[in-house]
Amino acid sequence: MAKSYTLAQTLRSGETTFLGWVGNPDPLVVETIARSRFGAINLDMQHGWHSPESIMNGVRSVVLANKAAVVRIPVGDFAFASRALDMGAEAIIAPMINTVADAQALVDATKYPPLGKRSWGPVRGMTLGGFKSPSDYLAWTRDNVLALAMIETVEAIANLDAILSVPGIDGVFVGPSDLSLTLSEGAVIDGLSPTINPTVSHILSRARAHGKIAAMFGINAAHAKSLAAEGYQLIAVGTDNMYLTKGCNDLVEAAGG
Ligand code: 3PY
Ligand code: MG
């Protein structure tokens, strides 16, 4: 079987993984970031500039760097979740999963029967992953394709246990910015606001109680470090826009500029 080591196995073994976050659709940018120290790479279609074509090329850049490719789909675009997996992604992050029906739609798109309703056709994913036969790929998906539900609204918090109980939901991915926005009823947009901390801890403890993966978007390095110390396992550390800006400014400053 191809792919002896996967993101799902790494996370289930208890390891922490820092997730590169790429909105830039250029496969060379994706490739450069995939070959950095990040353990896995997310291609962001919700707020990034990716098209279906750039996801196809970006997934290749990530997989050829021996990293797991993750795709965040646009809100409600479950059809693209199936396509991204067909292209060779290992995990899907779905934003704004607020209800059991949302969670079930995510499972339907990402998991083959009996858990879901994903239709067969992973031509590119099989080639890229080196799978020898359809049954080889099918067996691999059972334990290795991850469906991560973004918990980022008051409604999602109210439904958290029910969402976590949906078979086929592998974990949660917390969006701190939207959480700050909805918890404050639109008054605050600040993913670093301490007012969201009790909710962030509550999500972690409920995910653990359900035996599911706890993942979250870290706004910066210090935030990501504190989330890892708290027990979150898959953690973004800002975005590619920050990597470029900070990299440029740090270099010029170090040069005396
Ligand atoms: C949020 O913080 O709301 C996110 O979706 C992170 O990308
Ligand atoms: Mg969000």
Ligand 1: which of 93, 150, 183, 220 to mutate, most ligand atoms within 8 Å of CB? 150
- Across the chain, how many H-helices and E-strands are there? 13, 8
Alpha carbon of 175 to ligand 2 centroid (Å): 5
Is 4's pLDDT higher than 90? no
> Which domains occur in the chain, in start order?
7-254 (3.20.20.60)
**Other beta carbons within 10 Å of 136:** 15
User: For residue range 141-192, what is the model confidence (pLDDT) as tens digits?
Assistant: 999 999 999 999 999 999 999 999 999 999 999 999 999 999 999 999 999 9
Whether 218 and 239 have beta carbons less than 8 Å apart is answered as: no
Whether 139 and 131 have beta carbons less than 8 Å apart is answered as: no
User: For residue range 86-121, what is the model confidence (pLDDT) as tens digits?
Assistant: 999 999 999 999 999 999 999 999 999 999 999 999
How would residue 1 be classed by pLDDT, with cut points 50, 70 and 90?
very low
Q: What residues have CB less than 8 Å from 124, skipping those under 6 apart?
A: 56, 86, 87, 88
Query: Using the 8-state DSSP alphabet, how is residue 146 labeled?
Result: E
**Minimum-distance ligand 1 atom for the alpha carbon of 181:** 3
**Quick check: is 47 catalytic?**
yes
Active-site pick, 47, 202, 210, 223: 47
Does the bond joining 113 to the residue before it have cis omega, within 30 degrees of 0? no
Q: What residues have CB less than 8 Å from 91, skipping those under 6 apart?
A: 7, 8, 40, 68, 69, 70, 71, 145, 146, 147, 148
Is 77's pLDDT higher than 60? yes
User: For residue range 37-55, what is the model confidence (pLDDT) as tens digits?
Assistant: 999 999 999 999 999 999 9
**Minimum-distance ligand 1 atom for the alpha carbon of 178:** 3
Whether 38 and 66 have beta carbons less than 8 Å apart is answered as: no
- Section 231-244 average pLDDT: 98
User: Which residues are near ligand 1 (CB < 6 Å)?
Assistant: 95, 152, 175-178, 191, 217
How would residue 2 be classed by pLDDT, with cut points 50, 70 and 90?
low
* pTM of the complete model: 0.97
Alpha carbon of 178 to ligand 1 centroid (Å): 6
Is 238's pLDDT higher than 70? yes
What is the pLDDT, as a whole number, of residue 3? 64
Report the share of the chain in percent with pLDDT over 70: 98
Closest CA to 72 of 236, 254, 193: 236
Is 237's pLDDT higher than 70? yes
Summary mean pLDDT of the chain: 97
Three-class secondary structure of residue 148 per DSSP: strand
- Section 18-31 average pLDDT: 97
φ, ψ for residue 28, nearest 5 deg: -70, -35
Alpha carbon of 176 to ligand 1 centroid (Å): 6
